[in-house]
Structure 1
Amino acid sequence: DEEMHELMSEIGMCIGIAFQIRDDLFDYGVYDIGKPTRNDIQERKVTLPLIKAFEHASKKESANIRALMKKRKKTSKDVDKIVSFVHESDGMEYAKQSMYDYANGPIEALNKLPDSQAKQDFADLIHFVITRKK
């Protein structure tokens, strides 16, 4: 029915956003995820952890990091500065909390449904998305 379709659409969107935030966190974390890390930084992609870090930082600090982000070829020292900036400016914590918030909406919605294998599968998927290491 239409209501169930809307609910599933909303759940899918929230899971997708949580998945993307988790992926963004990998770029600033210390993980062995089976793929190159720091790619978003090297490719000059501005993701949620960095956006939030800019909001909490001084204008001077933000300007320095923006200049590093604009560089086409970044040294490992440049990348380390950007990663440290995101950690020190609470970008990681904000992004983690946002990921959990996006995951909690579908969990609450699922709790309204009768128990079923599909419901359990969705709950397992949500748990995987927010805890995955790769």
Structure 2
Amino acid sequence: MKAREILSQELERFNLTLSEELRSDIPLVDRIMKYLSNIKGKQLRPVFLLLCARLGGPANDSTYRAAALIETLHIASLVHDDIVDHSMKRRNAFSVNALWKSRSAVFAGDILFTKGVLLSLEHKDFDIIKIFSKAIEETIEGELVQISKTQKLNLNEDVYYNIIRQKTATLLKAACEAGASTTFRDPEMISKLGEFGEMVGMAFQIKDDLLDYGTENIGKPLGNDIRERKMTLPLIYTLNNCDPVVKQQLLLIINKQNSNEEKLQYLKEQVRAAGGFNYAEGKMIWYRNEALNRLYEFPDSGIRQALEELVFYITERKY
């Protein structure tokens, strides 16, 4: 991937900063932190942050601290998500709560959050802390809104967009905005890259919704969101546009038969027949184009091209 080639030195420096930040004098905490460090994912948020910073100039110490903060916040959120969801696996490895039980996992997530914030506080990166604090508040609010709407089976498309904006897009917006704030001086440019990140985040989540249906023969288990009664875009569109009889059948599956593989397969077929997949993909492409329109306001460069490639990777990925 072009982004990783361009950022080879920056990513090495970032990972050194992150590793240093995850160390602990407490043996149990240190073991958990090292374990999490070894199963890290694609680190998309730090990559976006570093690239947005590079659009404005060379990365600096503040940039690396911001990248470490966004990654520790992201890891902390995954640790807590696994506890809430009773997940035993994360990225084909055991989750923290599977290995150390929920009590230790809660504290591990809390420590991750605290470590990231303290790193920025110690260096007086107040603008960055403000950006991420606002994003964390919105993310938590989004989770709570989704819980309330899940209980009532929300079928409102606008509510759905607001939930994914808060839950997913806000954190990517914060990453791009924070990265830009370390090298740009023009508030308008910083804001523009924040908008870019938000649009990418929206497209990212809609793609995730599509992948939950096992589309494109990726071999992904079908229906995790449906089992949790999460109303994602393909299903919302289908329920609002299908025959009333079919709608009642689908609602029955969502409410009472969401562990039946045969019923889930029927639901998937109805979503396809109603055009739910095509509709969601069209919305994803719209958000992708909105992101690119904002990106194209910046001069053409290798950094801008790497960001463009990353946007297409996110919307064309198979998993």
Q: Same fold (TM over 0.5)?
A: yes
Paired residue for 1:41? Answer: 226
2:198 to 13, 24, 28: 13
Paired residue for 1:103? Answer: 288
- Residue ranges of structure 1 left out of the alignment (5+ in a row): none
Paired residue for 2:309? Answer: 124
Paired with 1:73 and 1:115, the residues of 2 have a C-alpha distance of 48
Correspondence 1:90 to 2:275: yes
1:55 Cα deviation (Å)?
1.5
Paired with 1:20 and 1:106, the residues of 2 have a C-alpha distance of 14
Contact 1:24–1:47, Cα closer than 8 Å, also in 2: yes
Paired with 1:81 and 1:30, the residues of 2 have a C-alpha distance of 17
Residue type of the alignment partner of 1:15? V
1:73 Cα deviation (Å)?
4.8
Paired with 2:297 and 2:193, the residues of 1 have a C-alpha distance of 12
Larger CA Rg, structure 1 vs 2: 2
Paired residue for 1:64? Answer: 249
Q: Which shows bigger deviation, 107-116 or 97-106?
A: 107-116
1:72 Cα deviation (Å)?
6.0
Paired with 2:216 and 2:189, the residues of 1 have a C-alpha distance of 39
Contact 2:234–2:280, Cα closer than 8 Å, also in 1: yes
Contact 1:56–1:90, Cα closer than 8 Å, also in 2: no
Paired residue for 1:32? Answer: 218
Identity %: 33
What SS does the aligned partner of 2:222 have? coil
Paired with 1:39 and 1:110, the residues of 2 have a C-alpha distance of 33
Contact 1:21–1:99, Cα closer than 8 Å, also in 2: yes
Paired residue for 2:265? Answer: 80
1:37 Cα deviation (Å)?
3.4
Paired with 1:37 and 1:8, the residues of 2 have a C-alpha distance of 34
Paired with 1:52 and 1:26, the residues of 2 have a C-alpha distance of 16
1:74 Cα deviation (Å)?
2.2
Residue type of the alignment partner of 1:32? I
- Residue ranges of structure 2 left out of the alignment (5+ in a row): 1-185
Residue type of the alignment partner of 1:52? Y
Deviations 1:87-118 (A, max 9, x none): 01111010000000000011122222101233
Would the alpha carbon gap of residues 73 and 24 (structure 1) be closer, same or farther in structure 2, given more than 3 Å must change? closer
Paired with 1:10 and 1:99, the residues of 2 have a C-alpha distance of 16
Correspondence 1:133 to 2:318: yes
Paired with 2:297 and 2:195, the residues of 1 have a C-alpha distance of 14
Deviations 1:51-104 (A, max 9, x none): 001121022211110111012652111101110111011110100000000000
Contact 2:193–2:294, Cα closer than 8 Å, also in 1: no
The CA RMSD over aligned residues, in Å, is: 1.5
Paired with 1:23 and 1:122, the residues of 2 have a C-alpha distance of 20
1:125 Cα deviation (Å)?
1.2
